[in-house]
Structure 1
Amino acid sequence: MELTQIRLLVSDFPSVYRFYRDTLGLKPQFEAETGPYAKLTPDTGHAAIALQARTHLADVLERLEAAPAGHRALIALRVDDLDATHAELTSRGAEFLRDPSPMGDRMRVAYLADPEGNLIELQEWLELRDRGQ
C-alpha cells in the first residue's frame, strides 16, 4: 500500500485553490481553478495536497454529509526559515492564528487556516538533541 496524497473536500473550490496556489505558493500539477479536482505540491518532496469539490464527490458517491463545522484537518508543512516564511505569506495576505513560537525544544511552529477552516501548521525543525540525553 502506498499513500499517494491527502485530499481535502471543499465547498468553495476556487477560493481554497487560490489560497494553496497563490498564498502558500504550492505548484498545481495542472491549472484547475474552477475544479472539481486539483493536486498541488511544495517545491521540495513528493507529498501532495489534493482538493476535490464536495459536490463532485457527492455526485460520485450519491451521498455526502453537509460540510462539517470547525477544523477538520491539519496539514503540516516543514520550512527552513519560519520567520521568513511567515513574513512572505503575510505579505501575500495570509492571516495567522498563531505567530511563530516554540513547540517544545525540537521545533518552532506557526498556524494559519485555509478559507474553509483546515489548519496549516508550518514547522521549522530545530537541531535535534543527542540520543544520549
Structure 2
Amino acid sequence: MRLDGFGLFVEDMGKMIRFYRDVLGFEIKEDENTSNVYLLKDGTLFLLYGRKDFEKMTNRKYEYLKGVNGHFELALYVDTYEEVDKEYERVIGMGAEPILEPTTEPWGQRTCYIADPEGNLIEIGSFNRPFQH
C-alpha cells in the first residue's frame, strides 16, 4: 500500500475550506461546494469530508471532540527559525487559534502550534535548514 493522502471530518465545510486555502495555502482540487473536498499541499492530498455525509455513507454515528483536538497534529515545515515566527504571526492575524508561541526546543527545532477553526492542532516548525525527507 502507498499513502495517498489524509483527511479531516469537518462540521463547517466553508469555514474549514477558507482556513486551509486562504490561511495555510492549500490548493482546492475541485469545486468547494461539495461535501467531499480535495485540497493539495506540496503534492500531498488533503481531504475535507463533511461529518454528516460520512456518517450517512457508513451508516454509523461517531463522537467528535469539542475544543482543541489532542489526537493528532498536522506538521508544516519552513526553512528558517525566522519563518516560524513570521508564519505564526501571519496565521494568528488571519484567525488561527494560538496554542504555543514560537519556541526553540532542546533538540534544535523551533516550533509553534496553532489550531484550525475546529480545534485540530497544526505545528509550524523548522530545524533552520531547508526541508529534507
Superposition pairs of residues 83-102 of structure 1, within 5 angstroms: 83-102=85-104
* Distance change (3 Å), C-alpha of 1:73 and 1:35: farther
Q: What residue ranges of structure 1 are gaps of 5+ in the alignment?
A: 128-133
Bigger CA radius of gyration: 1
SS of the equivalent of 2:53 reads helix
1:74/1:119 contact within 8 Å kept: yes
Q: In structure 2, what residue type is equivalent to 1:95?
A: E
- Computed over aligned residues only, the root mean square deviation of the Cα atoms, in angstroms, reads 1.8
The one-letter code sitting in structure 2 at the alignment partner of 1:119 is L
CA contact (8 A) 1:8 1:51 kept: yes
Q: Is the 8 A contact 2:97 2:117 kept in 1?
A: no
Residue type of the alignment partner of 1:103:
E
Residues 73 and 31 of structure 1: CA distance in aligned 2, closer, same or farther (over 3 Å):
farther
CA contact (8 A) 2:38 2:48 kept: yes
Judging by fraction of residues, say which structure has more strand.
2
Q: Distance in 2 between matches of 1:103 and 1:41?
A: 29
Classify the secondary structure of the residue corresponding to 1:35: coil
Match of 1:63 in 2: 60
Which residue identity is paired with 1:5? G
TM-score normalised by length of structure 2: 0.81
**Alignment identity in percent?**
29
- Matching residue of 1:2: 2
Partner of 1:109: 111
User: Could you report, residue by residue, the CA deviation over 1:10-68 in whole angstroms, capped at 9, with x for unpaired residues?
Assistant: 11111111111112121111231x431112223xx322321100111111101131323
Equivalent pairs, count: 124
* Change in CA separation of 1:35 and 1:99 when aligned onto 2, cut-off 3 Å: farther
Moved over 4 A (4+): none
